[in-house]
């Protein structure tokens, strides 16, 4: 069986824990047929209605459906248009499923006409634009990655880029970054430089253990712990907790004959989650599915079961915050 296929994932079928727990999934993608990892409205609905109480979702840019012509800085509008149309389609055809209530768009924050382009995304999103992800990710071993980053070196200290991130805050928009663990210091420096913009750390800063880093999780964890504490010391930062099931994280779930159970997943990953929560506090943490990318390793339902087990001993208000409250606050969803 092929990892990530429905047949492979179906080998683990766990009943949903705490099924009445409201969840806002603040990080998923969509791709059309023929896209990088096809995942459309019907796929999303199949996941969000599989047993957990997913009440809303936020789409995050993934270079899907870009325009093929026109000015480069406006081609990402094709993605925002595609997602807005998908969200409208979902609402009509699946009125009882979780709606897509937010869009984090892809925008080049260094451009001169940034406000004009942001205005165009606001219009294209039809009331759903909540932020921008113009990621820092730059892989030092791109050939080893399933999803290599190829952004400009030193981007975090580019004055034009920092002005763009600052402008997001002035417009009450968030800034998301996906990058690798060895770039966490860049994200921290950017957060300190732009204190009035809400900075969202995606995927724990993506610890990677492939290529020359294969098998080095323990060593990476020790340095990563300090970097996460440094980021959390910036009061304008919040953390998305998820995205550690990508093949590039090096845990090898996708190479097994079956996906992990929620207990098996936690046995490997618990320490990363617990450290991030300890540093940021529940009020600055939100669980994220990162689907369909994390589907390479486990099912949607298994992920949420694992998170519920992870924080079972936290107070009810703390759990409600991590599963929905932080996402609602950060992305202004209420």
Q: Looking at residue 334, what is its pLDDT? A: 81
Quickly list DSSP for 26-45: EEE--B-TTSSS-B-HHHHH
Residue 134 near residue 76, CB atoms below 8 Å: no
The whole-number pLDDT of residue 138 equals 96
pLDDT at 1: 77
pLDDT of amino acid 244: 95
Question: Could you give all domains of the chain from N- to C-terminal order, each with its CATH number?
Answer: 20-330 (3.20.20.140)
Residue 179 CA to residue 184 CA, distance in Å, equals 7
Cα 110 from Cα 63, distance rounded (Å): 18
Cα–Cα distance measured from residue 54 to residue 324, given in angstroms and rounded to the nearest whole number: 9
Question: DSSP strand E in the chain: where?
Answer: 22-28, 53-60, 100-105, 129-133, 174-177, 199-201, 237-241, 285-287
Give pLDDT tens digits along the chain (334 positions). Answer: 788 899 999 999 999 999 999 999 999 999 999 888 999 999 999 999 999 999 999 999 999 999 999 999 999 999 999 999 999 999 999 999 999 999 999 999 999 999 999 999 999 999 999 999 999 999 999 888 888 888 899 999 999 999 999 999 999 999 999 999 999 999 999 999 999 999 999 999 999 999 999 999 999 999 999 999 999 999 999 999 999 999 999 899 999 999 999 999 999 999 999 999 999 999 999 999 999 999 999 999 999 999 999 999 999 999 999 999 999 999 999 8
- How many Å is the maximal CA-CA distance in the chain? 53
In this structure, what DSSP letter does residue 151 have? Answer: P
CA atoms within 13 A on the CB side of 78: 16
Phi, psi (deg, nearest 5) at residue 149: -100, 140
Only one residue has tokens 């529940």, namely 282
Q: Which residue in the block uniquely carries the two structure tokens 């202004």?
A: 332
Counting every residue written for the chain, the total comes to 334
- Could you give the CA distance from residue 248 to residue 255 in angstroms, rounded to a whole number? 12
Question: Could you give the C-alpha distances from 263 to 16, 305, 324, in angstroms and in order?
Answer: 13, 9, 23
- Name the β-bridge partners of 25: 57
User: What is the pTM for the complete model shown?
Assistant: 0.97
């Amino acid at each position: 069986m092929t990892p990530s296929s429905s047949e492979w994932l179906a080998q683990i079928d766990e009943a949903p824990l705490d099924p009445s727990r409201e969840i806002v999934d603040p990080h998923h993608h969509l791709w059309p047929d023929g896209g990088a990892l096809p995942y459309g409205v019907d796929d999303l609905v199949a996941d969000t209605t599989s047993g957990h109480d997913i009440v809303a979702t936020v789409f995050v840019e993934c270079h899907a459906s870009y325009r093929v012509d026109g000015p480069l800085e406006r081609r990402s509008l094709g993605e925002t248009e595609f997602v807005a149309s998908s969200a409208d389609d979902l609402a009509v055809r699946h009125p009882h499923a979780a709606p897509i209530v937010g869009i984090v768009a892809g925008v080049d924050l260094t451009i001169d006409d940034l406000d004009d382009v942001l205005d165009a995304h606001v219009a294209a999103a039809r009331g759903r634009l909540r932020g921008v992800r113009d990621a820092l990710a730059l892989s030092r071993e791109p050939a080893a990655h399933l999803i290599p980053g190829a952004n400009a070196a030193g981007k975090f200290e580019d004055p034009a880029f920092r002005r763009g991130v600052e402008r997001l805050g002035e417009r009450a928009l968030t800034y998301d970054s996906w990058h690798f663990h060895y770039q966490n210091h860049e994200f921290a420096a950017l957060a300190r430089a732009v204190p009035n913009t809400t900075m969202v750390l995606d995927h724990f800063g993506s610890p990677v253990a492939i290529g020359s880093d294969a098998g080095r999780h323990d060593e990476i964890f020790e340095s990563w712990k300090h970097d996460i504490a440094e980021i959390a010391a910036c009061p304008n930062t919040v953390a998305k907790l998820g995205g550690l099931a990508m093949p590039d994280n090096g845990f090898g779930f996708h190479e097994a004959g079956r996906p992990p159970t929620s207990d098996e997943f936690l046995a490997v990953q618990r320490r990363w989650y617990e450290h991030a929560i300890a540093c940021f506090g529940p009020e600055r943490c939100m669980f994220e599915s990162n689907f369909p990318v994390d589907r390479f390793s486990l099912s949607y339902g298994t992920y949420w079961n694992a998170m519920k087990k992870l924080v079972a001993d936290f107070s009810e208000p703390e759990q409600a915050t991590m599963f929905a409250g932080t996402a609602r606050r950060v992305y202004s969803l209420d």
